[in-house]
């Protein structure tokens, strides 16, 4: 990661481990600056299209402050999270999203620096959705609802996050349709099944 002067709040929330600036986990920082992906930006946040969307519509809202992950949040960040929530809802208030249902939230253990809120349509219909881990990261309690994250921060001054062992259990859950009780043989089977729900909707 490049060396630069940061304000006090940035230093408190920077990652504890140094990561090479070319490391894949820092990919979001590059995407935040790529006009091809940027939806909108203000003094506090940038909204981007996910480069590998796991649904028809998949956006990420990232703070401009150098906040590494959920564990780095404290009460000073409450207004920021509220702002992220407001911007997410404004984004979805458009004709393109009118008949879609969306989930807003965070992964309990994010693989990428920096903190980012997922704004994702619940169709889960995308060629980039390729693994059981992809599926379970959005369709189990590994995915933390944004309201619950904010509530935890307001109540405790930190975000309550499942343990590593619990997160692993979520990733190992058997595949199950998020719309009904169907239990597929594998992910390709599940993806075929999902289409039947989309066809009914249309």
pLDDT tens for the 202 residues of the chain, in order = 343 333 333 333 334 445 444 455 567 888 999 999 999 999 999 999 999 999 999 999 999 999 999 999 999 999 999 999 999 999 999 888 988 999 999 999 988 779 999 999 999 999 999 999 999 999 999 999 999 999 999 999 999 999 999 999 999 999 999 999 999 999 999 999 999 999 877 6
State the pTM of this model.
Answer: 0.86
> What is the structure's pLDDT at 23?
52
Q: What whole-number distance in Å separates Cα of residue 129 and Cα of residue 68?
A: 25
Answer yes or no: 118 catalytic: no
> What is the structure's pLDDT at 10?
35
Alpha helices (H) in 95-145, listed in sequence order: 132-139
> What is the structure's pLDDT at 25?
58
Contact 114, 73 (CB under 8 A): no
Bridge partner list, 163 = none
Going along 13-81, which residue ranges are E strands? 38-41, 45-49, 58-63
> What would the two tokens of residue 148 be?
């619950």
Task: List the catalytic residue out of 58, 77, 107, 116.
Answer: 116
> What is the structure's pLDDT at 110?
87
User: Which long-range contacts does 108-112 make (Cβ < 8 Å, 24+ apart)?
Assistant: 108/70, 108/141, 108/142, 108/143, 108/144, 108/161, 108/162, 108/167, 108/170, 109/142, 109/161, 109/164, 109/167, 110/69, 110/70, 111/25, 112/25, 112/26, 112/27, 112/28
> What is the structure's pLDDT at 3?
39
> What would the two tokens of residue 81 be?
């999270």
Strand order across the 45-49 sheet: 38-41, 45-49, 58-63, 117-121, 102-107, 143-145
Domains, the chain: 8-174 (3.30.428.10)
State the DSSP H helix or E strand holding residue 192, giving kind and residue range, or none if neither: helix 187-201
Cβ neighbours of 62 (radius 10 Å): 22
> What is the structure's pLDDT at 5?
38
């Amino acid at each position: 990661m490049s060396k630069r002067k940061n304000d006090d709040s940035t230093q408190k929330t920077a990652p504890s481990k140094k990561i090479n600036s070319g490391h894949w986990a820092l990919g979001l920082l590059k995407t935040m600056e790529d006009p091809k992906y940027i939806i909108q930006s203000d003094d506090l946040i940038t909204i981007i299209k996910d480069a590998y969307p796991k649904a028809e519509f998949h956006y990420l809202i990232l703070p401009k402050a150098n906040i590494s992950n959920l564990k780095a949040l404290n009460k000073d960040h409450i207004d920021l999270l509220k702002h992220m929530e407001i911007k997410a809802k404004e984004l979805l208030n458009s004709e393109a999203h009118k008949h879609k249902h969306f989930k807003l939230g965070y992964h309990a253990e994010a693989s990428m620096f920096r903190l980012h809120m997922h704004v994702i349509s619940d169709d889960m219909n995308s060629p980039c959705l390729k693994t059981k881990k992809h599926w379970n990261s959005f369709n189990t309690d590994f995915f933390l609802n944004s309201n619950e994250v904010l509530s935890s921060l307001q109540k405790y001054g930190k975000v309550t996050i499942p343990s590593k062992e619990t997160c692993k259990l979520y990733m190992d859950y058997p595949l199950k349709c998020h719309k009904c009780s169907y239990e597929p043989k594998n992910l390709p089977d599940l993806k075929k099944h999902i289409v039947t729900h989309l066809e009914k909707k249309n």
